[in-house]
Amino acid sequence: MLKHIWAALTGGPVTTDAPPLDADALVQLRDAELAGRLDAAAHRRLGRSLSIRAVDAGSCNGCELEIHAVNNPIYDLERFGIRFVASPRHADVLLVTGPVTRNMAEALRRTWDATPDPKWVVACGDCACTGGVFAGSYACVGPVESVIPVDLTLPGCPPPPRVLLAGLLALLESSAEPLSAIAPPAGRQGHSRP
Amino acid sequence: MYVGEDPLFGLMNRIGKPVDGHRPFPRYRTTPGGWRTLVESLGGNTLSVVGLWGEPAAVHVALREELSGDVVVVSLDCPNGHFPSLSAVRPSVIRLERTACDLFGLVADGAVDPRPWLDHGAWGVTHPLAVPPGPAPAEPQRYPFLKTEGEGLHQIPVGPVHAGIIEPGHFRFTANGETVARLEQRLGYVHKGIEGLMAGRTVGDAARLAARISGDATVAHSLAFARAVEAALGVAVPPRAVWLRGVMAELERLANHLGDIGAICNDAAFAFMLAEMGRLREAVLLTNDAVFGHRLLMDRVVPGGVSVDLPDDGGKRILELVAELRRRFPPLVAIYESKASLQDRTVGTGIVSIRLVSRFGTGGYVGRASGRGQDARRTPGYAPYDDLDFEIPVLTAGDVNARVWVRIREVEQSLSLLEQMIRRMPGVPRDSHGRTPLPRVDLPAGAGEGMALVESFRGEIMTWVRLADDGTVARCHPRDPSWFQWPLLEAAIEGNIVADFPLCNKSFNGSYSGHDL
Ligand code: SF4
């Protein structure tokens, strides 16, 4: 084990560079602000850190696998100050997956109620964005936004870790400064923060 | 006459009439009297239940004779919506019978547990798959949990929303101090109505649903669905497709076992292993993406063959992955073995007896860690595995540690299988334009009934399908291995401390989505 630790210490980081911010995500967040759902002053209060609570509202568990992956040493979400927390009461962001099954709709609503303001909701994966292949079932309500307001959608089935990372970084960026002040992320390509 | 020792087909000939066009295993239609004879036979140990599912006016049960491995389906018409329950002799069907009632309104007479299971009263309809469906429930019903009585007992309700990034389900612990006296699960929160959605869809659309029954076993569920459809239509897929499917299935097994080993250690507070195994798992997923174009390999196995072939350097990349894992995995296993603090948590924790896994017909690492060696790749067996060398690791301790070791051994086997398959992969002849066509055949439109047994990383999947004349899916029932594993988790935790529950749960890693459908 000591050999292993030594190799890890001397081998340099295994973490990949941060992906460029998701431009589409920034546009979505700005729209959310224009619609009056997010308030720029609240963004500033959070600083450069976000606590996320994952809520599975009926996913096939594919999305969960990729959410786990952004926490692995390769993508290492925590280096950006974004971390997953155990309780909605500690969360700034609800990251919701799945086509919101009718059996989970109430639990999702209650989780949202338990999350303190200001809060963001990110719909993760095609199911959460549109209902995906499960749309129209007697057992599903449909997209997350039909149950709680959604600020950001990250499509994909499932969205790969780089897409998740880019979207969450956009959220972090937008919460660090007023959304209206954000320029398109052209100059930020490949930019990696400590 | 004592029927328990009857060979399976002898029993079938006495109680049933064969139904034409069901492949590859025979299906028999029986009478209420025949069904009761079957109930009696299930009191013995020679048969295990592989699945039980409903239709608007019929119930089907799939059985396996343990010794010979023979599989049959027995069907009973229930015009008045009732059938004699199997649950008194086979506790493994309790939840399946409750589900048949929730979805189709089929009542199992004499059922051990008549409570609803997947239906939480929120669907706005009752018996959604019955013809016609029932009215919306009048009043929201309180779910009656089982009673536990005794001095000093207290209850700990957990979920459906859990603290980690995991699927939702409710666990109700009754504890005496630190020790769990009873765990009762309540599942169904992620019921998406997949069986209902599949009905009436084209085979292609239904395959996309099958791929999303349980995301972590997407290859295996896609394969089970594809093979059931191909059996129903009597279609043989190109040999190269069969081998590519095998490659994908083993890559999936590898990725999941690596992830599980890390996650189990993490729940024993050994985060080092989670990080290291996370890197190995990521190496597999990156290879998946580079070679087959999807990290989890979703929609890559399709009825008729596969939707992608290996790129030119695909075989080489997979062999490189195998070599890398062969180099990096064993030192981590050595660390797992040598850490006393870790062993202290996993050895002797969450024991499942061989008696229970046999009675429940439990497969996968849960069954194999408790002495039951069933593996669908061997019995009934399917291509390409019948042409490959591999071992099925079986241990007997039945604890968390044994479930970790079964996974470790299976990782080694999967590496060897991948190597064999890549080296011996059959080619495809070029067509007249000099191109290599995709190994996939067009499916004829037609009716038929088919069934497939496929070994996912978690255990045996059974998928049954009936196609209508126009080639659409009339009824499909995919039975995830979790159905026969979840109930044993309730038994595994008994007498353990509450703090060991996450560890036990992770060592089972049951699928909520695969179970809830
Ligand atoms: S978006 Fe895809 S991976 Fe995510 S829950 Fe839905 S089906 Fe599963």
Query: Which H, E and C letters describe B298-337, residue by residue?
Result: CCCEECCEECCCCCCCHHHHHHHHHHHHHHHHHHHHHHHH
The reported pLDDT for the residue numbered A41 is: 57
Q: How far apart are alpha carbons A166 and A25 in whole angstroms?
A: 8
Q: B192, B273, B285, B335: which to substitute to probe chain A, counting the most A Cβ within 10 Å? A: B192
What residue in A sits closest to B511 (Cα-Cα)?
Answer: A61
User: Token match 């024991």: residue?
Assistant: B351
CB contact (8 A) between residue B193 and residue A14: no
What residue in B sits closest to A112 (Cα-Cα)?
Answer: B161
What residue in B sits closest to A157 (Cα-Cα)?
Answer: B298
**Beta pairing, strands B16-19 & B47-55:** unpaired
Q: How far apart are alpha carbons B489 and A53 in whole angstroms?
A: 26
Q: How far apart are alpha carbons A38 and A46 in whole angstroms?
A: 13
> pLDDT over 90 for what percent of chain A?
49
pLDDT tens series, chain B, 517 aa: 444 456 889 889 899 999 998 999 999 999 999 999 999 999 888 899 999 999 999 999 999 998 889 999 999 999 999 999 999 999 999 999 999 999 999 999 999 999 999 999 999 999 999 989 988 888 777 888 888 888 889 889 888 988 888 899 999 999 998 999 999 999 999 999 999 999 999 999 999 999 999 999 999 999 999 999 999 999 999 999 999 999 999 999 999 999 999 999 999 999 999 999 999 999 999 999 999 999 999 999 999 999 999 998 999 999 999 999 999 999 999 999 999 999 999 999 999 999 999 999 999 999 999 999 999 999 999 999 999 999 999 999 999 999 999 999 999 999 999 999 999 988 877 777 777 888 999 999 889 999 999 999 999 999 999 999 998 999 999 999 999 999 999 999 988 999 999 999 999 999 999 999 9
- Is pLDDT above 50 for A191? no
The reported pLDDT for the residue numbered A17 is: 82
The reported pLDDT for the residue numbered A9 is: 82
Which amino acid is present at B29? R
The reported pLDDT for the residue numbered A183 is: 39
Set out the domains of chain B in order of their start, with CATH numbers: 9-109 (3.30.460.80), 154-186 (no CATH), 199-516 (1.10.645.10)
Q: How far apart are alpha carbons B76 and B55 in whole angstroms?
A: 10
Q: A9, A55, A60: which to substitute to probe chain B, counting the most B Cβ within 10 Å? A: A60
The partner residues of B453 in beta bridges, in order of sequence, read B462
Q: How far apart are alpha carbons B212 and B384 in whole angstroms?
A: 24
B289 Cα to the center of ligand 1, angstroms: 17
Of B214, B276, B295, the CB nearest to A60: B214
Which segments of A63-183 are extended strands (E)? Answer: 82-84, 93-97, 120-124, 152-154
| Three-class secondary structure of residue B478 per DSSP | strand
Q: Which residue from B453, B481, B455 is spatially nearest to B73, judged by alpha carbons? A: B453
Q: Give buried/exposed letters for B39-74 (b at 16+ CB in 10 A, else e).
A: bebbeeebbbbbbbbbbbbbbbbbbbbbeeebbbbb
- Determine the distance in angstroms separating the CA of A5 from the nearest CA of chain B, rounded to an integer: 10
Higher pLDDT, A47 or B322: B322
Of A65, A105, A107, the CB nearest to B215: A65
CB contact (8 A) between residue A107 and residue B191: no
* CA distances, B323 to each of B217, B316, B329, B418, B491 (Å): 24, 11, 10, 11, 40
Q: Residue B287: list chain A partners with CB under 8 A.
A: none
B212 Cα to the center of ligand 1, angstroms: 7
If you take atom 5 of ligand 1, which residue's CA is the nearest one?
A: A59
Confidence of residue A35 (pLDDT cuts 50, 70, 90): low
- ipTM of the complex as predicted: 0.92
Q: Residue B212: list chain A partners with CB under 8 A.
A: 60, 62, 132-134, 157
Contact partners, residue A6, CB within 8 Å, separation at least 6: none
Q: What is the CA radius of gyration of chain A?
A: 17
CB contact (8 A) between residue A137 and residue B193: yes
Tokens describing residue A122:
């990110």
The reported pLDDT for the residue numbered B514 is: 95
Contact criterion met (CB below 8 Å) for B281 and B255: yes
The reported pLDDT for the residue numbered A7 is: 82
The reported pLDDT for the residue numbered A43 is: 58
The reported pLDDT for the residue numbered A3 is: 81
Which amino acid is present at B297? L
Reported residue count of chain B is 517
Total CB pairs under 8 A between chain A and B: 147
Q: How far apart are alpha carbons B478 and B474 in whole angstroms?
A: 13
What's the predicted TM-score (pTM) here?
A: 0.92
H or E segment and range at residue A24: helix A23-34
Tokens describing residue B496:
């353990």
Q: How far apart are alpha carbons A93 and A43 in whole angstroms?
A: 12
Of A73, A137, A160, the CB nearest to B192: A137
Q: Which residue from A116, A107, A118 is spatially nearest to A147, judged by alpha carbons? A: A107
CB contact (8 A) between residue A59 and residue B167: yes
CB contact (8 A) between residue B189 and residue A103: yes
A157 Cα to the center of ligand 1, angstroms: 5
B243 Cα to the center of ligand 1, angstroms: 27
pLDDT tens for each residue of A135-185? 999 999 989 999 999 989 999 999 999 999 989 888 887 764 433 343 333
* CA distances, B231 to each of B23, B194, B203, B208 (Å): 6, 21, 13, 18
Which segments of B222-279 are extended strands (E)? Answer: none
Contact criterion met (CB below 8 Å) for B75 and B27: yes
The reported pLDDT for the residue numbered A23 is: 75
Q: Give the burial class of A64: count Cβ atoms within 10 A of its Cβ; 0-12 exposed, 13-18 middle, 19 or more buried.
A: buried
Q: How far apart are alpha carbons B403 and B413 in whole angstroms?
A: 15
Q: How far apart are alpha carbons B292 and B444 in whole angstroms?
A: 26
If you take atom 2 of ligand 1, which residue's CA is the nearest one?
A: A157
Averaged over A12-40, what is the pLDDT?
Answer: 73
User: Token match 């009597």: residue?
Assistant: B234
The reported pLDDT for the residue numbered B139 is: 78
Q: How far apart are alpha carbons B56 and B106 in whole angstroms?
A: 8
Tokens describing residue A85:
């927390």
| Three-class secondary structure of residue B477 per DSSP | strand
- Determine the distance in angstroms separating the CA of B313 from the nearest CA of chain A, rounded to an integer: 23
User: Token match 């301790």: residue?
Assistant: B397
CB contact (8 A) between residue B122 and residue A1: no
B168 Cα to the center of ligand 1, angstroms: 15
Q: Which residue from B161, B408, B394 is spatially nearest to B265, judged by alpha carbons? A: B408
B96 Cα to the center of ligand 1, angstroms: 25
CB contact (8 A) between residue B296 and residue A158: yes
The reported pLDDT for the residue numbered A186 is: 38
The reported pLDDT for the residue numbered B412 is: 96
Q: Give the burial class of B455: count Cβ atoms within 10 A of its Cβ; 0-12 exposed, 13-18 middle, 19 or more buried.
A: buried
Q: Which of A65, A67, A126, A133 to mutate to test the pocket of ligand 1 (most atoms within 8 A of CB)?
A: A126
The partner residues of B302 in beta bridges, in order of sequence, read B305
Q: Is the dihedral of CA A158, A162, A165, A170 positive or negative?
A: negative
CB contact (8 A) between residue A158 and residue B215: yes
Q: Which residue from B490, B476, B460, B446 is spatially nearest to B95, judged by alpha carbons? A: B490
The reported pLDDT for the residue numbered A118 is: 83
The reported pLDDT for the residue numbered A119 is: 87
Contact criterion met (CB below 8 Å) for B280 and B259: no
- Is pLDDT above 80 for A27? no
Q: Is the dihedral of CA B119, B508, B182, B110 positive or negative?
A: positive
Confidence of residue A188 (pLDDT cuts 50, 70, 90): very low
B111 Cα distance to chain centroid: 24
Tokens describing residue B379:
């019995």
Q: Residue A59: list chain B partners with CB under 8 A.
A: 167, 190, 215, 513
- Listed in sequence order, the DSSP H helices in B339-448 are 340-346, 354-360, 364-368, 400-424
The reported pLDDT for the residue numbered A40 is: 58
CB contact (8 A) between residue B278 and residue A74: yes
**Residues lining ligand 1, judged by CB closer than 6 Å?**
A 59-60, 62-63, 97-98, 125-127, 132, 157-158; B 212, 215
A132 Cα to the center of ligand 1, angstroms: 7
Q: Residue B512: list chain A partners with CB under 8 A.
A: 61
Reported residue count of chain A is 194
